[in-house]
Amino acid sequence: MKLEIKVNEPLTVEQVAMLYRETEFAKPLDDTNRLQEMINHTPLVFSAWSGESLLGFARCLTDFEYFCYLSDILILPSYQKQGIGKILINEMKEYLGTRTTISLRADDGALGFYEQMGFESTDKMYRIHREG
């Protein structure tokens, strides 16, 4: 498989919804307007492709100088455990350079992966969770 990483390649709502659906990631997929707004307002996306097939992406919210929040990283289940997530994170780190702090919220099953990628655990993250 020849893997190509693209930066800010335009993605359709259908492509994004397919990734969320296939990875069983909790997002309201029936609200296509909301998904489109999410896509429109995401300043940095790294996507992994094999030919015309989207295999995964990393969605980042950033100011490109001080802070980047890795909001989502999704890889199709049939392509997981093949190093694609590692490649996406390394591309993101290289693109942002050494001055930008990268943060994320991880599921328990991914803690070891993120630690392996150089992330450090912190207990100082807070959120206001809202439904709707």
Q: DSSP characters for the chain?
A: ---EEEES----HHHHHHHHHHTT----TT-HHHHHHHHHT--EEEEEEETTEEEEEEEEEE-SSSEEEEEEEEE-GGGTTSSHHHHHHHHHHHHH-SSSEEEE---GGGHHHHHHTT----S---------
Report the pLDDT value the prediction gives residue 132, as an integer from 0 to 100: 60
**Which pLDDT does position 87 carry in this prediction?**
98
pLDDT of 24: 82
Q: Is 121 left (phi over 0), alpha (psi -120 to 50) or beta?
A: beta
How long, in residues, is the chain?
Answer: 132
Q: Mean pLDDT by 10-residue block, N- to C-terminus, for the chain (132 residues)?
A: 95 94 79 92 98 97 97 96 97 96 90 93 82 66
Domains and CATH numbers, the chain: 4-116 (3.40.630.30)
Task: Output the pLDDT for position 29.
Answer: 74
Question: Which pLDDT does position 88 carry in this prediction?
Answer: 98
pLDDT at 44: 98
What residues contact 28, with CB distance under 8 A and at least 6 apart? 34
pTM equals 0.91
C-alpha closest to that of 91 among 67, 115, 70, 63: 70
Q: Which of 88, 93, 81, 87 is nearest to 119 (CA)?
A: 93
